[in-house]
Every structure is written in structure tokens, then in C-alpha cells.
Structure 1
Amino acid sequence: MKKFFISLLLMCLFFFDGQAQQTYAVKGRVVDRESREPLSFASVSVWNSTQGVMTDSLGNYVIENLVPGMYRLQFSIVGYRTYVTPEFRVSSHDYRIDAELEENQVDLKEIEVVASPFRRSLESPISSRVIGLQEIEKSPGANRDISKVVNSFPGVASAVGNGYRNDLLVRGGGPSENRFYLDGVEIPNINHFSTQGASGGPVGIIDADFIREVNFYTGAFPANRGNALSSVLDFKLLDGNTEKRTVKATVGASEVSLTSNGYITKNKKTTYLVSVRQSYLQLLFKVLDMPFLPRYTDAQFKIKTRFSQAHELTWIGLGAIDNMKLNTDTDPKDESKQYLLNYLPVIKQQTYTLGAVYKHYAGRHTQTLVLSRSFMNNNNRKYLNNDESSHENLTLRYNSDEIENHFRFENRSLFGNFNVNAGVNLDYVTYTNRTFQKIFSEQAKEILYETDLNLFKWGVFATAGYESPDERFTASLGVRFDANTYSSKMNNPLKQFSPRLSLSYNFFPNFYLNGTVGRYYQLPAYTTMGYKEFGILVNKANGLLYQRSDQTSLGVEYHFGKNAEATIEGFYKKYSHAPLSLQDGIPLACKGVDYGVSGNEAAVSTACGRAYGVEFMFRWFGSGKFNLLTSYTYFRSQFIQPSTGKYLPSAWDNRHLLTLSGTYKLPKNWDIGLKLRVMGGAPFTPYDENLSSIVSAWDATARPYYDYGLYNTGRLKTFSQIDFRLDKSFYFKGVMLGIYIDLQNIGNFKYDSQPVLVSTGVVDPQIYPDGNQHYKMKYIRQQSGTILPTLGLTVEF
């Protein structure tokens, strides 16, 4: 059946390959960013081509006879900054893209302006990337999942051999140190089956059809984006189509999705985007004989109303229902899979975010008001040996809700060469937890507690940016204060004073020296704040604090004309006041890349550490045909061992990261892509064989215990992987048909994780000095790496 389907696919590819090419138009309106008045006789051209037009007296333009494909537009007019749009796709209908041009404060008669897609930011001239549509749609091995796309960029590592997860590990930081926004609305996580208290999961939750571009910050975080220590992903979403209502259906190896895009009202002032996805990922994992079978449903929408030139309102919604079952039929002879099966819990999650963004354009001033609500319910169950016939076998029953209500107001003003943004945020948080868990700590015991935690969080922020009249020097000074009502240790905003400074200087054409220094704070996970023992919030009693990170980066940037850029950056991050596990003696930031929950344990805010390194990146946008991204990072990630005061490698100390990723547009609407990923081996900790073998200890978790006295004294081998992608698009009148094949790990490289210590299930008759019964134990090989094919079909009409 599989061979028949592939043969049929190839026949269709060659049969339709000679179909006539359709053409469409791109149209829109160009206005002054401040006054919202139309700009007459502005030049509008297809970037990197000679095709273009002028706007009419009302600022409208139409560029006709564009064949389907990826494009950018360039807008220019005397007295305004030249603007190059993000990438967009012309596929099955005319496309609309409006532009707002910013008035130039300097006479450009003597300056040659070279339009470039590499946009620069006053506040973050360093450690920030703009990820475009081409890189999201065509990235080999990513399957349009943004968590996998960003792995190609400098400083981004990933967890290997850990259950097909999307954990985001940036510049030596942990998976809990990232923040995510959709058009200004904060969302708690971007993955299905996320680890509560951290992040990550097997598949992304955001539909790529909604994404216009992504601003990815690995440092120099904007002051209005708080509570991050390692990265901020700021998603910019498409607006609905005002020209036509369209429908797009996609069938892939793991899901089927339906997306609609268009307008609602007759005056076309209200547009919409909506999508629904249903996975059958459990079928793929069943075929791969994986020990867990994830299934999910998600929905997303965006509704935008432009009441007038000065007022607009956007509604955003994102929700998911996740259900991960255990595959008890997995190969009983595969000891590695049986090990995973015996410790992974059954996971059920429900999440949603609803938000509204109001914007008021008042000349040189723009006000933004954001109201949103996020909800997450996490329900985990685990029975010893997956035997649910007896309540005595229950080892974990966990049910938790996290609810965040957000309010944020900010005002952005332009005063000549100065750009000032200031605002406040106020959040109300509800965290509930009902936990029963069997653990072993010197002796077997049960944890049973209920938490009902309510608190207010608030923040104040301001940023002032300056650009010199000759546009060669920029500076940005920002401050932020944060506090909350959790305890007296956290309610004084002066203790969470976060200053930051960014500078950039253009020494000669296309060459920039950039730098930043700042202090950033992050609230510990709610799982840590709400952890109880004997009815007491033990971490509150332990004086839990905001985590702090002092960071600095320095780098150079060079643009090769308008098609390519190269950057070299060095960074240093110093951590303090981070939660330290009282049981294990390691920072909680070194955990969180496994399914379930992270941070629900006793801790004190005494962990200290550092991460430092150097990054290189080269990006090439080759006239719409060839895209290349090359990145290399050498870094160290360490924390101070409390007992010795010496630096030890953290869990994320991979040291070397190398990515070569490219796509090429072939004739007749074929696209081909290839990616090489090389990542240094992660450190690992040997197991405590004696403790792990104790019957009550093993039965509590079905996992071995680490010997934290030898923390991260071992190191795994280097990981490498090659991914391949092939796309073919067919364009008919009003219809686009796309077919793609994505092959992860086409070299079938194998990766050996740390051999795992497991129980044989046989009690050792030997009498041990500790007086406990012990299992006979053995080590089993942990190897991952297989060719993972994805075949997808997309129809848009």
C-alpha cells in the first residue's frame, strides 16, 4: 500500500509538472506611520527586481503579473526611511500588504540608501534575529515547527535522545528561561504536552500558517518583555485577507489541519484567520513502536477590526487538548522502551490563551492596551508497572491549574531622534495543585498536599532610544521594576531593578559594532512557589527570591550588500539567586527536559552560575532562489557547587553547536533543502547503584537515582544529524496544491545516551548492611536515531 501511494504521488508530480503558470497581483496602501495619512507617489517595487509601480494620490498601489512564490516589497519616498517587508507568499489569489513609512529625521542627499531585509532595532541591535516565512516554511527537518526552526540559529541547543522533544536551550540557559508572545499577547508555552514549570514537548502548538515573522531575542531583551533570562520569541501574525476568503487544508504524517482566511464585514474592516488541527501522531508513534502515544487537538484564531485610521482592535485565541497514553503493546524485548514505559506517566493537558490588543495611533504617540487570560490544566497519573488493578500501585496522582490574567499598557512616542516607550503591567495569578506522590529520600515516603495560591504581579518599564542625525550611532537605555505579593522577599520592586543599555556604531558602510549590558529577573516557576510540606509553603519559608542574571554581549555585524550578513558575538551571563534543590544539591534550572512536572520540590535561592561563549552566523538571501544559514557557537555553561565552591558543568554544557542549513528554488516550482546539525556531547551524572537498587526506592519512581557527588563527571559523544526536504507546488487558477517530503536524520545516525540502570525485577537474597531489600540491577543501552519521514499534502483555494 505504501509503495502504491508513493508511485501515485510521483505520477501526479510529473503529470502536472507542465501545467500553465498562473499570475496574481499584490496591492495595498502606503501611509505615514505617525499621521496615518496616505503617501502619494511612493515607489513600490518587488525587492531584488526591477518590477514596481508608484502609489496614486490616495496611497494605493497594484503590482500585477506576479507568478506564485515568495516575495518581499520595497517602499521608498523622499523624506522617509526605505522599508523592506517580511517575506510573504503569493499562491492562489491576489495578496494585500499595507505599509507604514517612518519619516526620516536627516537629510539623505549625500547618503546612499541600500534597502536590506536585515532590520535593526534601537533597543536590541545585538542578539536578535528576524526569522522569515521562507525559513519557517522550508526548513529541512523542522516540519514547519518554530521550536525546531530556531535550532539552526546561534546559541540554541536541544535535548537529544529524550523522546522527540522541542526543549529550547539558549546560550547555556535552562528550558524554563524563555518567554513567548503572539502579537503582544503572552502565552505560557508553544508546545503540546509541555513540561509544567519548564517548556518543551514533542510538537509545536502554533500553526505556521498564521506566522508572518518571528523576532527571536537571545539577549538584549526589550524592557516591555519581562520575566526572561535566556530568550524571547515574539511572533508577528498575519492579518486576514481583505480581498478574498480562502481555505487551506493540510494533511501531513502527524496531523490534518484546516485554515480559513478572509474578511467578515462588507466594508472589509474586520478580517479573520482561524485554524483547527487534529493529530494522528499516535499512529506514527505506534508504527515506530514508541512507548508513548500522543494525540492532540488545537485551534487558533485572530480577528482584527480597523475602526478608523487611528483605532484598531485585535482578538487572539489559542487552545489545545492533549492526551498522551502509554503503548503497553510496545516490544517487550526492547528493554530501553520498557524502561520509558515504566516511568512515563499518563498525561492529559488542557490549555488556552485569549487576548485582546487595542491600539490607538495619535500622531507621534501610539498607545497599546493588552488584556489576556491563560489557562493550563495538567493531569498526570502513574501506577507501578502500569498495573491499575490496585490502588496500592498508584505512585503519582497530580492535578494542577495555572491561570494568569494579564493587563499591560504602554505608550510609544517619537521626539525627533528620540524614541520613548513606557508602560505598566498588572497580573493576577491563581495556582492550584493536588498532589499524591511516592518518593524515596533516605526512606520511602508519600507526599500529599493541596495548594491554593493567589497573587498579584506588577511591573513598570521604560525605554529611551536615540539615533544620531547621520544614523551611524544608536543608543537605548531601559529600566524595569518587578514585584509580587508572594512574600516580603518579593514585594519590593526596588530589589528587582533591571537596567539595560544597548549601543551600536556604524564605523564604515555596512560594518557595525554592537554591545549591550543589562540585569534581568525572572520569577521562579509556580510549581516551586506552590510546593508544600506538612501544609506549609516550604519555599516561601525558605526565602525564595527572583532569579537574577547579569548579561553582557559584544559583537560586530557586516552586511554584504543587501543579500547577506555575517555576525560575530561574544556573551557572558552570570546567574544568582536561582533555586537550588535541597534534595539533589543542583539548580532547578538543570532540570525540566522530561515529560511531567519540573520544580515541585524544596529549594533555596542560593544557586549561582555562569554561561559564556562566542557565536558566528552567516545568512544569505540569494535573490529569492537560494537561502543559506550557517552558525557556530562555542560556549560553556556552569554552576557553583555549594560544597566546594568550584564551577561544575551544567546539564546544558554542550560546548559546540554547528548548523549548516540551506534551501534552493529549482525550476518549475520545486524546492530542495538540506540541513546538517552537529552538537557537542552533553555531560551526564553516574547513577547511585546502591540507592537505585533499594526496592522501595525503585518502586517509588521506576527510575535510577543519580550520584550527585559525581555530578556531570561524564560526557556523551557528539551528536550529528542530516535532514532533507523536497517541495513541489502546483498553481491553477484560484488553487494551490503543494506536496512535500521531509526526512529527518537521512544518514540514520545513531546516538548513544547514557546507559541506564534498571531493575531486573528480581529481589537479591543477599542481606545488605543498610537493612533494605535490594533488586538485582543491570545496565541497558540507550540508543536513539532513526530515519523519520514526513509526507505532506496542502491544498489552498
Structure 2
Amino acid sequence: MNKSLRLFLVFQLLSFISYGQAILSGSVVDEVNNEPIPGAVVQIEGLETQAFTDFNGEFIFKDLPVSLVNVSVQTIGYVSKTEFEIQLTLAKPARIVFELREATQKLDEVEVSAQMKFTRDAQSPVSVQSIGINEIQRNPGGNQDISKVIQSLPGVASGLAFRNDLIIRGGGPNENRFFLDGIEIPAINHFATQGASGGPVGMINVNFIRDVDFYTSAFPAQRGNTLSSVMELNLKDGRTDKTGGIFQVGASEVGLTLDGPINNKTTYLASVRRSYLQFLFKVIGLPFLPTYNDYQFKVKHNFNRNNQLTILSLGAYDVNRLNLDRNETEDQRYLLNYLPEDIQWNYSIGAKYTHFGSKGRTNIVLSRFMLDNSSEKFENNNRDLNQLLNYNSQEIENKFRLEYERKSSTWEYMFGFGLEQAKYNTTTLDKRLPGGFELNYSADRIFYKGNIFANVIGRFADDRLKVSLGIRTDIMDFNESTLNPLNQLSPRIAVSYNLNENVTFDGNYGIYYQLPPYTSLGYKGIDGDNSDLQYISAEHVVLGSTQFWPWNAKTSIEGFLKRYRNYPFLLRDSISLGTLGGDFGVIGNQLATSTSDGRAFGLELTYQQKLYKGFFGIAAITLVRSEFQDIDNDYVPSSWDNQLIATFTFGKKFGNNYELGIQYQYLGGAPYTPFDRAATATIQNWDVLGRGIPDYNNLNSSRYGGFNRLNVRIDKKWFLKKFNIDLYFDIQNALAYSVQGPAFIDVVRDDQGNPIVNPDIPSQYLTTTLENNNGTILPSLGFIFEF
């Protein structure tokens, strides 16, 4: 019997012995004071059985079949709630904590509607999508990377180069903010673009995630410094029964996650991951070798029912080296000619203390973030020759935030304030600029910031009408403008009206502010500094309607408008910073003025299907236009003007624990700026840049073609008494669709690899072009072992 046949028989045997009895337990508490709710009815969808909570609000189901289920809870005096897609296994008891809101109507019986199965926040009734951990883990093409999964939601565009840039409703990748359990995490991607937020691979271990709330407008008042989105990642708590874990091998990394009890009041989760991309890239002959490492942990301590402490951290260490032995082809030599070598590390660490009072809760949050970024480049990659780039920079943020929430059945109040110290330093030598311009400066700045915020929510007409009014202002001691709180006054109003129990009409208006990146604030070159920069503002208007369906689904339509003001206008390149951020390196480190305006507007159509009879999925169609002013103050398409974005993601659970997920994406062609061939060929420019120079006189005058992408994922799972196994096959761009981008400009070289001077124009090299095709099939196998 050969090895393959033996392996097949082993897995088939595992399939037959994976039946048994699973356990589901949990608690039901009041969301305001964390007090237990006894007598609540807990029901598993599709099963006859139900359980009641005891005097401690606890419930337990035993002898359940291994399955993926939806669980709901109802009780008199509270709004019903459903948790979707709870995985029941033999190896690990499942646990749910339901936090219920007091109902405005005191009825003698429980009221349930299709709308109640979807959590809705009156402060943000529009432009919010919520997804659970199973939706994240099995997303086709997502590779268990939260940033890639988010790209399947309405209003979100992705790039063509398989990066994690989040382009939200025509806004740039620098306009997004991220929170883990309410603690801000500025960096969530490896090899992050400094001055923006994108990168090629996500840092967050999805095994920590319980669910994600993704806001594309109607931002909560306590969340500031954002223009396009807020991502709230709500994490699981560690196991209380014993230590368990997950060993995982994915498309590009191997990782280990552990979780369990420290004592009877304290739990933990911890993980480490390391990539093996450098080995794969070396084998297939790529001229660069990236390596990334990350860690993550969370510790939660319950002093008692009224007091909790959460401590968490996330960090990464990334290195990119050149593979100088791979220089046989034109494409390899082109990349080696301009790519630098990089080392980047960062960490975030924070603590949140929560106190539950009789009528509300108080959150006190302390956090620290540090980024260290360095890059270098030498002429001909020879350290004995001219150094073209020597970049070192650090960003440090120390934050304090206090929030107090008070809730009743008809009114909610929230207010608080924040304080922050930020440090930015850099030593920059960069000769890779056209026209002989050179950056050679140092900066060491300390900034102090503050903010205050408040929000009130009223529920009227038996909870059919909800009105939210919020206000916020931010200050910073950068200059007189940023220090004046009236200049950053951020009002917001949201209204939601139930036309009937399952149809709502919703709207939002708000003005939001964000600081320019530290790379811009700290710039100090021979041409001046950016001491007059101001906060960037974005005015949002959103109107929409949602229909909730009894089969765990909803349909929504939303129209949106964003007006940008005071975006930094980069004087050397004569373009708005709002059109940059979708590439590696550093953006914003040049002289700028707060004079650029922009606008984005569009329409979103969404259908979301939570698990129902084995089916799940989401379909999103977005029509969007995005424009920023050019040097003549004329509106031209921004780099994020995709016009049409369509994503359809659906899946089905089959018998014997097979799952199939299919995702189709259409991304309308984004604008791009063509290269200036004459400027690129100039010897002075090519010797320091080694790549094409954009012709900003024709800013975004060309477009890529539309991009079609089909992603497929197949999972086979085994649920055994002591462990679970998930073996999956994922393929991105299964149709091998490719988009032709602007041809790369390269120089013609002699037999020794030296550029050849143009005999007709002695100040230039002879040039040629290389194909620029975007779109590659990316198949991967993954193995997940949970114990």
C-alpha cells in the first residue's frame, strides 16, 4: 500500500469517528451594568432543545451534535439577540456571552423580529457592516487576513498588486483607523507604508478575533482622527477550562496560538508567527527576499463582576533583503536597480480598565505605539559606491482616554476626553529625486494632543425613531490653527426610523478631522518646512434604507457624499497627498500646503446572508467617483476612482464537514499617471532613481482596464475528541485574469550590464520598455490543527 493511499484511508477513518457530543455554555448579562439576567431563554436555531439561564445568568447545553449553529436569546424586558455561526466541537467547549439592551416597551411577552437578529447601534445606523470569525476564516482569497477579507464589503476597493490597502468610498489608504477591544492599533500590516496604513500582509492573528464591526461613515464620537473608516476588532477571551491552542501552516507563514486560564479570574491568548516567503522567493528566482515575524497577546482579569482589566499587545519585525544573485533577466535587473533594503519593526501595547456601575460603565484606556523604519540604497547595490538612500525614522504615540457611558431604555449618554504625547524623529538622506534635488535633513519633534467628545441618543415612538447627536473636537500644539478647538469642531447627527418592524430609513451627517501624517508634519528640507499645515476635514452625508428578511438576511441601499478640505498639496510633485499611499516606502515627506480639496460620491447596494440552512455570503455593488484638485484647482480623477466595484462572496456547508466558498470581484479600472520618458531617460535622473518618473502634468490621465478576479476555497474539517483539523485549498485569481498596466521604462544595457548613452541626445540613456502585467494565479494549501 503506497503512502498516498494510507494517508487517504486515515483521513476517511477520521471522518467516521468525528461524531460525538459537544458542549455549549455561556452567560446572559445586562449590557449597562454587567449584572446577570436569570430566566432568559436560549435557543439553538434548527434544534428543538432550549435552555434557561440560572440566577447567575449562566446556561449550558450538553450532548449537542458537532455543527455550526446560530444561537439566540430572548427574555421579557430586553431586546432579543442572535450570535451567528458558533462552532460546536468535541475538543473545545463553545462559550458565548450575550450582552442585552433594555427594551423601551415593557411587554408581557418576548418580541422577536428579523431586524433583532442584526445588531444595530443607534449612534451609527448607516455604513456599518459586521462579520464573525467564521466568515473571516473561510473567506475565499482572504488567506485569513482581515484586511483582505474587508475588501469584500461594500464601498471597499482593493489594489491590483495583492496589497492590503483599504480604499474606502474613494478615500486613500491613510484615512483609516483600527481598534482592538477599544485600544487603538495604528499599524496592522507588515512592511507598512509610512504615512499611510497599507502593506502586503496583515499582522493580526484572526484566531484572536470574535467579530469585526466596520464603519465607513457615522463614526462614533469617541473615535477620532479618521476620514474614511473605523475598524473595531472585538477579540475573544481565553479558555477558562484548560490550555488549548492552534498550530497553523498557511500560504506564507507558520504560527502557533495558545489560550487558557492563568487562574480562576484571569485568561490569556498568545501567538507567534513567522513567514517562509524568503525561501519561496529564493526558489522561484525573485530578486528580493522579505521576512516577517509577529506576536500578539491578550490577558483579561476579572476582579469581580463590576471590574475588568484587559491588557493586549501586537508587534512585528520585518526585513527585506535584495537577492543580488538573481540578475539574469531584464525584469530582475530592473527591480534590483531601484528597490532598497528595509528593516521595519513596530509594537502596540495597551490596557483597558472597565468599571460597571448601576446605570453605566467607565472605560479607562492607556496605550503606546512605536514604529521604527529604516531603508538604504547604494549605487549599483555596492556599499563602496555612492549611497542614494539612508532613511531612519521613528513614530511614538502615548495615549490616555476616558469614556463614560450611561444608558436607560430610552436615553443613552456618552462623554469623555483623551490626551496624547506623540514623538517623531527622522534622519533622511535621499538622492533618488529628479532634477538633482536632494533630501538631507533631520527632525526631532514632540507633539501634544487633546480631545473631548460627547454623544446623546434618544429613542422615541416605541423605539421606532432613534436620534443620535454627537460632538467632538481635537487640538494639537503644532500651530495656532491646530491649537484652536473651534477649527476642529466635529458635529454629527444620525437618524433611524422603522417604517415597519423589518424596514428602516436611515441617515447621517458629520464632519470628521484627521491630522496629516507625521512624515509631513516633521518635514524640514532646504525648501522650507510644513509648519502651517492644518487638520484635514471630510464632510459626510449618507442616506439609506435596509430591509431585514426572516432567513437571517438583510438588503440595504445607501447613497454617500464626502467633501474633503485642507488636504496637503505636495509642492515638489504638484499633486494632492490624497492621491498617494498605494505603494511601498514613505509618503508625505515633502513641502506641502493645506490647500487641496476633494470629493467622493456614490451608491452602494448590499445583500448579506448570515448562516441559513448551510448557506452564507455577501453581495456588494458600489458605484463611486473620487476626485481631487490638481495644480490648476480643477477636479481630476483621484487614484481611487474605480467607478464600479462589485464583489459577490457565497458559500455552502456540505455533508461530512466540507465547505465551498466562491468569490467573484470586479474592480473598475483605476486612473494612473503615465511616465515621462524623456525625464526618466536623463542620465542625472536615472543614475539616482533607476525607474520611471511620473508625468504629473498629465495627472491620472490614463486608466487601467477593469479587473475580474475569481477566488475559490475548499475546506475539509475533522472534529475529533481531543483535536480538530482543517485542511483547505485556496486559489486567488483562479481565472488567471491579467490587466496590462503602464509599461515600465528601463535603460538599454551593454554586455557588461551598463546603461548605453543615447548617441543623439548625450544627456540621456537609450531606453526600452518592460511589460507590466497585474494578475497572477496564487494557489495555496493550508493546515490548521486545533487542540
SS of the aligned residue for 1:341 comes to helix
Asked whether the 8 Å contact 2:673–2:701 carries over to 1, the reply is yes
Asked whether the 8 Å contact 1:47–1:74 carries over to 2, the reply is yes
Aligned with residue 323 of structure 2, among 322, 327, 349: 327
Kindly report which structure 2 residues correspond to 1:662-681, keeping only aligned pairs within 5 A, or say none. 662-681=650-669
Amino acid at match of 2:486: L
Q: Distance in 2 between matches of 1:325 and 1:595?
A: 14
TM-score, normalised to structure 1, is 0.95
Aligned with residue 687 of structure 1, among 675, 690, 698: 675
Q: Distance in 2 between matches of 1:386 and 1:371?
A: 43
Q: Distance in 1 between matches of 2:3 and 2:565?
A: 57
Asked whether the 8 Å contact 2:80–2:117 carries over to 1, the reply is no
Amino acid at match of 1:642: I
Aligned with residue 346 of structure 1, among 338, 341, 345: 341
Asked whether the 8 Å contact 1:27–1:96 carries over to 2, the reply is yes
1:493 aligns with 2:507: no
SS of the aligned residue for 1:72 comes to strand
Q: Distance in 1 between matches of 2:697 and 2:675?
A: 10
Kindly report which structure 2 residues correspond to 1:636-651, keeping only aligned pairs within 5 A, or say none. 636-643=625-632, 645-651=633-639
TM-score, normalised to structure 2, is 0.96
Aligned with residue 271 of structure 1, among 267, 270, 275: 267
Q: Distance in 1 between matches of 2:618 and 2:758?
A: 59
Q: Distance in 1 between matches of 2:117 and 2:626?
A: 33
Shift of 1:12: 4.5
Kindly report which structure 2 residues correspond to 1:475-486, keeping only aligned pairs within 5 A, or say none. 475-486=467-478
The superposition leaves residues 546-589 of structure 1 with CA deviations (integer Å, 9 ceiling, x where unpaired) of: 00111101111101115111111110101110001101211112
The superposition leaves residues 48-107 of structure 1 with CA deviations (integer Å, 9 ceiling, x where unpaired) of: 543321122332211112233433321111111112125433332212223232222213
The superposition leaves residues 462-519 of structure 1 with CA deviations (integer Å, 9 ceiling, x where unpaired) of: 1111112512111111111001011122111111000011111111231111110110
Q: Distance in 2 between matches of 1:6 and 1:175?
A: 46
Q: Which residue of 2 aligns with 1:602?
A: 591
1:411 aligns with 2:407: no
Shift of 1:668: 0.8
Q: Which residue of 1 aligns with 2:121?
A: 121
Q: Distance in 2 between matches of 1:497 and 1:272?
A: 40
Q: Which residue of 2 aligns with 1:780?
A: 770
Q: Distance in 1 between matches of 2:283 and 2:5?
A: 21
Kindly report which structure 2 residues correspond to 1:403-552, keeping only aligned pairs within 5 A, or say none. 403-441=396-434, 443-534=435-526, 538-540=529-531, 543-552=532-541
Q: Which residue of 1 aligns with 2:22?
A: 24
Shift of 1:111: 8.3
Q: Which residue of 2 aligns with 1:573?
A: 562
Tell me: CA distance 1:482–1:285, structure 2 relative to 1, closer, same or farther (3 Å): same
Tell me: CA distance 1:5–1:70, structure 2 relative to 1, closer, same or farther (3 Å): farther
The superposition leaves residues 606-653 of structure 1 with CA deviations (integer Å, 9 ceiling, x where unpaired) of: 01110001011111124251112111111100012231x321000111
Asked whether the 8 Å contact 1:367–1:411 carries over to 2, the reply is yes
SS of the aligned residue for 2:370 comes to strand
Work out the number of aligned pairs and report it. 779
Amino acid at match of 2:505: L
Q: Which residue of 2 aligns with 1:739?
A: 727
SS of the aligned residue for 1:283 comes to helix
Q: Which residue of 2 aligns with 1:249?
A: 247
Asked whether the 8 Å contact 1:424–1:458 carries over to 2, the reply is yes
The superposition leaves residues 358-391 of structure 1 with CA deviations (integer Å, 9 ceiling, x where unpaired) of: 000001121000000001100111123322332x
Q: Distance in 1 between matches of 2:10 and 2:739?
A: 37
Tell me: CA distance 1:325–1:505, structure 2 relative to 1, closer, same or farther (3 Å): same
The superposition leaves residues 182-231 of structure 1 with CA deviations (integer Å, 9 ceiling, x where unpaired) of: 00111112110100001111111000000000110111111111001011
The superposition leaves residues 429-477 of structure 1 with CA deviations (integer Å, 9 ceiling, x where unpaired) of: 0111011110444x31332111101010111111111112512111111
Tell me: CA distance 1:647–1:749, structure 2 relative to 1, closer, same or farther (3 Å): same
Asked whether the 8 Å contact 2:44–2:70 carries over to 1, the reply is yes
Asked whether the 8 Å contact 1:664–1:673 carries over to 2, the reply is yes
Q: Distance in 2 between matches of 1:590 and 1:35?
A: 46
Asked whether the 8 Å contact 1:87–1:212 carries over to 2, the reply is no
1:795 aligns with 2:785: yes
Aligned with residue 307 of structure 1, among 292, 303, 306: 303
Amino acid at match of 1:207: N
Q: Distance in 1 between matches of 2:589 and 2:266?
A: 45
The superposition leaves residues 4-63 of structure 1 with CA deviations (integer Å, 9 ceiling, x where unpaired) of: 998776554434332241221111222333343332221011145433211223322111
Amino acid at match of 2:268: Y
Q: Distance in 2 between matches of 1:429 and 1:89?
A: 42
Q: Which residue of 2 aligns with 1:753?
A: 741
Q: Distance in 2 between matches of 1:228 and 1:34?
A: 28
Shift of 1:134: 2.0
The superposition leaves residues 712-758 of structure 1 with CA deviations (integer Å, 9 ceiling, x where unpaired) of: 11111111111111111112112111111111111122221211222
Tell me: CA distance 1:271–1:425, structure 2 relative to 1, closer, same or farther (3 Å): same
Tell me: CA distance 1:316–1:151, structure 2 relative to 1, closer, same or farther (3 Å): same
Kindly report which structure 2 residues correspond to 1:119-198, keeping only aligned pairs within 5 A, or say none. 119-161=119-161, 164-198=162-196
Q: Which residue of 2 aligns with 1:104?
A: 103
The runs of 5 or more residues in structure 1 that have no matched partner are none
Amino acid at match of 1:316: L
Percent of residue pairs bearing the same amino acid type? 39
Q: Distance in 1 between matches of 2:100 and 2:408?
A: 16
Asked whether the 8 Å contact 1:304–1:315 carries over to 2, the reply is yes
Shift of 1:245: 1.6
1:295 aligns with 2:284: no
Aligned with residue 36 of structure 1, among 34, 37, 40: 34
SS of the aligned residue for 2:771 comes to strand
Shift of 1:237: 0.2
Q: Distance in 2 between matches of 1:240 and 1:556?
A: 38
Q: Distance in 2 between matches of 1:12 and 1:612?
A: 56
The superposition leaves residues 122-176 of structure 1 with CA deviations (integer Å, 9 ceiling, x where unpaired) of: 1110001111112101100101101110111111111113xx3111111000010
Aligned with residue 399 of structure 1, among 363, 387, 392: 392
SS of the aligned residue for 1:746 comes to coil
Q: Distance in 2 between matches of 1:340 and 1:160?
A: 18
Q: Which residue of 1 aligns with 2:88?
A: 90
Q: Distance in 2 between matches of 1:283 and 1:15?
A: 35
Moved over 4 A (4+): 4-12, 109-112
SS of the aligned residue for 2:483 comes to coil
SS of the aligned residue for 2:367 comes to strand
Q: Distance in 1 between matches of 2:105 and 2:283?
A: 63
Amino acid at match of 1:555: G
Aligned with residue 44 of structure 2, among 36, 43, 46: 46
SS of the aligned residue for 1:98 comes to strand
Q: Distance in 1 between matches of 2:66 and 2:189?
A: 31
1:563 aligns with 2:567: no
Q: Distance in 2 between matches of 1:20 and 1:605?
A: 62
Asked whether the 8 Å contact 2:70–2:611 carries over to 1, the reply is no
SS of the aligned residue for 1:152 comes to coil
Asked whether the 8 Å contact 1:440–1:696 carries over to 2, the reply is no
Aligned with residue 626 of structure 1, among 608, 615, 632: 615
Tell me: CA distance 1:52–1:454, structure 2 relative to 1, closer, same or farther (3 Å): same
Asked whether the 8 Å contact 1:345–1:596 carries over to 2, the reply is no
Tell me: CA distance 1:264–1:510, structure 2 relative to 1, closer, same or farther (3 Å): same
